[in-house]
Amino acid sequence: MGHRIQFDRYPGGVMKALTFSYDDGVVHDRRLVEIFNQHGLRGTFNLNSGTLSKPGRIETTEVAELYAGHEVAVHTVTHPTLPYVPDELLTEEIMEDRRVLEQLVGYPVRGMAYPNGGYDRSLSTKLEWLGIDYARTVESHGRYTLPERPLEWHPTCHHNHDLATHAERFIQHTKTGTPLLLYVWGHSYEFNDNDNWQIIEQFAEQIGGRDDIWYATNIEVIAYWKAVKRLECSADRSIIYNPSAISIWFTADQQVVEVKAGETLRLTERIKV
């Protein structure tokens, strides 16, 4: 019998990850980013390039600095409901948004949130051809699971839906053998409109700064699990090769093991008997 291996760990060997997704690039993102940064939280901000610098929206010139350390992702140029537009407009809305945002932030933009939550299977299958690695829906499921289909990525919850309960439950969760992901979404203007900034402030204070949670952007979660799936194992599972450019953690014989980028790891040399 070979080694018992489970790919159940995030960076640093932890089993829990937290990510956020906020839409539209409104001015209230400034306060939300400040809260995230204060508590070491990280998230994704889905921007409409066609509305930047308009009243109530983030200025084009502040995008790179404001969202530094977080992820900027596609939300289309003008925010149409995509299942009801022709393919020609779909391509333009996504590719032009990518182009403008990439010029602002200086890295490939490969994530997305569906405007108005509108999507269908036909639409989601086209996104990969447009350079999109994942796309978030608005269909919260309440679970702490990785997406079955990244191009139809359903979040755990909207921030108005029992966020404090999720924080407590997630922190106390002790299930082993399965990586856990808490994924929160919303719009920062909702905190202002509903006068309930305390929801996210209390959540951030409660769940931030922990050493058993990986605080990640959406694209980092997807990139990590793509790299996990690229790991190559020998037939007896004694040799692991990591062809990716990032380190991967996993469990082998109930011990947490790291295989570094580009490393060929012999478990007999790493596992403590």
- CATH no., domain 16-218: 3.20.20.370
- Output the tens digit of pLDDT for each of the chain's 273 residues: 567 899 999 999 999 999 999 999 999 999 999 999 999 999 999 999 999 999 999 999 999 999 999 999 999 999 999 999 999 999 999 999 999 999 999 999 999 999 999 999 999 999 999 999 999 999 999 999 999 999 999 999 999 988 999 999 999 988 777 899 999 999 999 999 999 999 999 999 999 999 999 999 999 999 999 999 999 999 988 999 999 999 999 999 889 999 999 999 999 876 664
Domain ranges of the chain: 16-218
Q: Considering the entire predicted model, what is its pTM?
A: 0.95
Tell me, letter by letter, the H, E, C secondary structure of the chain.
CCCCEECCCCHHHCCEEEEEEEECCECCHHHHHHHHHHHCCCEEEEECHHHCCCCCECCHHHHHHHCCCCEEEECCCCCCCHHHCCHHHHHHHHHHHHHHHHHHHCCCCCCEECHHHCCCHHHHHHHHHHCCCCCECCCCCCCCCCCCCHHHECCCEECCCCHHHHHHHHHHCCCCCCCEEEEEEECHHHHHHCCCHHHHHHHHHHHCCCCCEEECCHHHHHHHHHHHHHCEECCCCCEEECCCCCCEEEEECCEEEEECCCCEEEHHHHCCC
Half-sphere exposure of 40 (CA within 13 A, CB side): 11
